Chain A
Amino acid sequence: MGDVTAAVEAAVGRAFRDEWGRIVATLIRVTGDWDLAEECAQDAFARALERWGRDGVPRNPGAWLTTTARNRALDRVRRAQVESTKYRQVAIVSNSDDAHVDNDAVNGIGDDRLTLMFTCCHPALSLEAQVALTLRTLAGLTTAEIARAFLVPEPTMAKRLVRAKAKIRNAGIPYRVPPAHLLPERTDAVLAVLYLLFNEGYSATAGADHIRQRLCFEAVELTRTLAALMPDEPEASGLLALMLLHDARRDARVDAAGDLVPLGEQDRTRWDHDTIAEGSARLEAALRRGEVGPYQVQAAIAACHATAPDAAATDWEQIVRLYDRLAELQPTPVVELNRAVAVAMAHGPAAGLRMVDELASSGMLAGYRLLPATRADLLRRMQRRDEAAAAYEAALALAATDAERRYLSRRLTEVTGRRAPTP
């Protein structure tokens, strides 16, 4: 009996991962009501736990869940209709729509998740709201989980979600995939949210709340969905490749003591080579379309690192060329700083330091922690120990995590030959 329960729970868990976003997206289209959609989707999963144990797991769990959730939604809309003839969903829910939903669920076509992604990431919503809505409606994270992932109190996150949904309704944010003339910029907005999610998760090191690390998984899965739904958008595949190529190195980034391990010193046998292969294949397919963009270029840089058999074999000349291209596409000071690191690896630290100093004197990266950290590493490699020490101290003052502080302290000890003061 316990085995049956476990099997049902596993089936429902799998269906939740695979179907939640699609069901919510469909119900929003059908009812126009975001809260109702979430509630009815939740109901359907609760009912699945109960019914699948008794009747067995249906042949097509997605269709079963969609139908159950939709029936529940229609039921509630009709009841509300009786209570108030002014209820605005009345006109939207029609019988012809019912048949349509059934077909969609059975055939697996007419995926509404793309519409939901574009609506969640509408630029009239704050970036914070876009991120929270995406995690709630598409990935199915609870408000409590999202709050924990972003280190804010749950009531704050709950309020953020309520406000975002109210704005969509009250300001008339359309529920649709944007028309062609808006598509490029709106796609950029969706990609930016997914990349932010990934980076939030990726920056969470071992020991951090597990839910923060799960953001990486959710970001990869959502980007996989986006890439599948937008096969003509090579930047979606490029972003997926970028995430996979970084994610593959995740375990090797931190040592047993929880300290950061620089790329050059990582144990490459701990990299996930299947994921690297998948990322590389995705990138190649995207590049074949001949419409290069910043995510594809960044993925190509990550691929250079991920496919080098050892640190010494890294093709830094190629990486510099890719950064040149990235700087054309995205002329930002952060890209310029990364380009300087690549130049230092390809042509020696002095060449890189010249670029870093130029950036420093421009003042554009004032307060950016990786500026003094990069400068310090270059000065260390040039044996300019006193200057390196000063730069490490400047970097320590700006460090964001304990792991980073430990790394910088270790380097500071190396160049000064004494222990760093513990902050």
Chain B
Amino acid sequence: MRYLLMICTDESAIGALSPEEGSAMLAEYGKFGEEMTERGVLRDGARLRPTTDATTVRVRDGEVLLADGPFAETKEQVGGYFLVDCKDLDEAIEIASKIPGAQHGTIEVRPIWEM
């Protein structure tokens, strides 16, 4: 089954990391990515730019409405994701628990709606 693992973290805390801490975090993600690639479950994944770079798009009555910033102001924002293909929810949970962001943020595990 395919699952989208959304990494929700407090981006202001991540923005406040020192350069050393920042590169340590990236190294952890690198290690996680390698491990999961080797295991053959990783299909895709990326880090997202912070919500200050986000644009919200709506179309109402044929008009494209734009807004600066995210859809909702919350303490935790989606800062990245992994798309994995694994056996079942238990394996997806196990993979999610190994994402470095799980140590301080939250990972939302969403099954892909297969068509």
Please give the distance in Å from B114's CB to the nearest CB on chain A. 10
CA distance A251 to B93 in the complex (A): 45
- Contact bitstring A171-208, B, C-beta under 8 A = 1, else 0: 11110001000100000000000000000000000000
Give the contacts of A153-174 with B (CB-CB under 8 A). Answer: 170-174
CA distance A178 to B109 in the complex (A): 19
CA distance A182 to B93 in the complex (A): 11
Determine if B89 is an interface residue (Cβ-Cβ < 8 Å). Answer: yes
CA distance A170 to B2 in the complex (A): 11
Give the contacts of B46-82 with A (CB-CB under 8 A). Answer: none
CA distance A171 to B1 in the complex (A): 9
What residues on B are CB-neighbors of A178 within 8 Å?
Answer: 90
Determine if A124 is an interface residue (Cβ-Cβ < 8 Å). Answer: yes
> Chain A residue with minimal CB distance to B111?
A171
> Chain A residue with minimal CB distance to B2?
A172
CA distance A393 to B51 in the complex (A): 52
Please give the distance in Å from A120's CB to the nearest CB on chain B. 14
Determine if B39 is an interface residue (Cβ-Cβ < 8 Å). Answer: no
CA distance A361 to B111 in the complex (A): 46
Determine if B21 is an interface residue (Cβ-Cβ < 8 Å). Answer: no
* Residue of A170, A172, A173 with most partner-chain B CB within 10 A: A172
Please give the distance in Å from B86's CB to the nearest CB on chain A. 9
Which of A124, A170, A174, A182 is close to B87, meaning CB atoms less than 8 Å apart? A174
Determine if B92 is an interface residue (Cβ-Cβ < 8 Å). Answer: yes
Contact B90 A174 (CB under 8 A): yes
Give the contacts of A220-252 with B (CB-CB under 8 A). Answer: none
What residues on A are CB-neighbors of B35 within 8 Å?
Answer: none
Determine if B34 is an interface residue (Cβ-Cβ < 8 Å). Answer: no
CA distance A162 to B63 in the complex (A): 39
> Chain B residue with minimal CB distance to A124?
B89
Give the contacts of B74-115 with A (CB-CB under 8 A). Answer: 87-90, 92-93, 109, 111
Please give the distance in Å from B3's CB to the nearest CB on chain A. 8
Which of B1, B90, B92, B109 is close to A182, meaning CB atoms less than 8 Å apart? B90
CA distance A122 to B87 in the complex (A): 16
Contact A173 B88 (CB under 8 A): yes
CA distance A323 to B85 in the complex (A): 47
Contact B90 A170 (CB under 8 A): no
Which of A122, A124, A172 is close to B1, meaning CB atoms less than 8 Å apart? A172
What residues on B are CB-neighbors of A173 within 8 Å?
Answer: 88-90
> Chain A residue with minimal CB distance to B114?
A170
What residues on A are CB-neighbors of B1 within 8 Å?
Answer: 172
What residues on B are CB-neighbors of A172 within 8 Å?
Answer: 1, 3, 87-89, 92, 111
CA distance A170 to B112 in the complex (A): 9
Please give the distance in Å from A171's CB to the nearest CB on chain B. 5
Contact B88 A170 (CB under 8 A): no
Which of B3, B88, B109, B111 is close to A174, meaning CB atoms less than 8 Å apart? B88
Give the contacts of B1-15 with A (CB-CB under 8 A). Answer: 1, 3
What residues on A are CB-neighbors of B90 within 8 Å?
Answer: 173-174, 178, 182
> Chain B residue with minimal CB distance to A173?
B89
CA distance A182 to B94 in the complex (A): 10
Please give the distance in Å from B76's CB to the nearest CB on chain A. 20
Please give the distance in Å from A124's CB to the nearest CB on chain B. 6
Please give the distance in Å from A179's CB to the nearest CB on chain B. 8
CA distance A148 to B20 in the complex (A): 59
What residues on A are CB-neighbors of B109 within 8 Å?
Answer: 171
What residues on B are CB-neighbors of A182 within 8 Å?
Answer: 90
CA distance A42 to B1 in the complex (A): 32
Contact B93 A170 (CB under 8 A): no
| Interface residue ranges, B against A (CB under 8 Å) | 1, 3, 87-90, 92-93, 109, 111
Provide 14 A-B residue pairs closer than 8 Å at the C-beta atoms, listed in order of the A residue.
Answer: A122-B89, A124-B89, A124-B93, A171-B89, A171-B109, A171-B111, A172-B1, A172-B3, A172-B87, A172-B89, A173-B89, A173-B90, A174-B88, A174-B89
Q: 5 tightest A-B contacts by CB?
A: A174-B88, A172-B1, A172-B88, A172-B89, A173-B89
Having A172-B1, A173-B90, one finds 17 other A-B pairs with CB under 8 Å, namely: A122-B89, A124-B89, A171-B89, A171-B109, A171-B111, A172-B3, A172-B88, A172-B89, A172-B92, A172-B111, A173-B88, A173-B89, A174-B87, A174-B88, A174-B89, A174-B90, A182-B90
